[in-house]
Amino acid sequence: MASPALTAALRRVDAVFGGMTAPADGCLHCYGAEELALLAMPRAPLGDDLARQFFHKEPGHFDDHPAVVRRVLPEFLRCLADGRFSGMGYAPTGLGRVRWQEWPPEQAGAIAEFLDVWWRETLADPEPPYGVGAVWELCVDMHGSLAPVQDVWAAAPRGGTEDRHLAAWLADRIYDLLNDDLWIMPWAMTDDLPELQAWLVEHAPARLAGHPDPLLARKVALLALGEEERWPAYSELVAGAD
């Protein structure tokens, strides 16, 4: 069940986007005419699976992709908030492709509020419905930016659930980060990997106190080094711990 804050954010999304329609035009290889017709029917239920498909489909499948994203937002975001979305980790997303930040303020504000509340509550939940890494990737993709997501992590109190989630995510991804694996990032944001690595070097080590791997914070610090320096330093670090 959604929290009061998340419920309020969903109500705002519905107040702004509910009742919107999109042209009933799209790729007839991917959708039936009866499915596309639902886009032109205000508030006609799409169902979780079709809402997900419309939200994630590549823009060229529709004559007016931004209109399709606006049409499906209330139903799709409700699916996310209720923990019913079966495609976590599946990106890119519709919001990541439409420059929604340039939409009218009431529309952009409703989207930004939902993403902020959903991410904050995911981090604060010891056992969120979805993995924190998957929610992180979806939020980063939908924002098209690291800053709104990482700023929440940076501002969280030390020693709380947010730190435990950060430590678990890093323990799982540290070798990918050290290898400059671009797949850590949403596909359209691979150029932002150095920004993520720099953020982790600045903010993560102090939040890893007491982690079962006593070297994890020092491994994160190696992200500040170039590739030629990083791996010799890593080998020295690991050898010194034996």
Output the pLDDT for position 140.
Answer: 95
Q: Is residue 134 part of a domain?
A: no
Distance CA 211, CA 193 (A): 24
Question: Residue 22 and residue 64: Cα distance in Å, rounded?
Answer: 7
Quick one: tokens of 170?
């890093």
Domain that holds residue 214: 171-242
118, pLDDT greater than 90: yes
Distance, in Å, from the CA atom of 182 to the CA atom of 190, rounded to the nearest integer, reads 5
Residues 1 and 105 in one domain: yes
Q: How high is the pLDDT of residue 227?
A: 84
Pinpoint the alpha helices (H) of 204-242. 216-221, 227-241
Which pLDDT does position 86 carry in this prediction?
Answer: 75
With a cut of 70, say whether residue 88 has pLDDT above it. Answer: no
pLDDT confidence of residue 51: 93
Residue 44 belongs to a domain: yes
- Residue 81 falls inside a structural domain: yes
In this structure, are 9 and 87 located in the same domain?
A: yes
- Assess if residue 213 is contained within a domain: yes
Query: Does residue 105 sit in the same domain as residue 175?
Result: no
Looking at the structure of the chain, the number of domains it has is 2
C-alpha to C-alpha distance for 81 and 36, rounded to whole angstroms: 25
For the entire predicted model, the pTM comes to: 0.94
Kindly state whether residues 5 and 85 are assigned to the same domain. Answer: yes
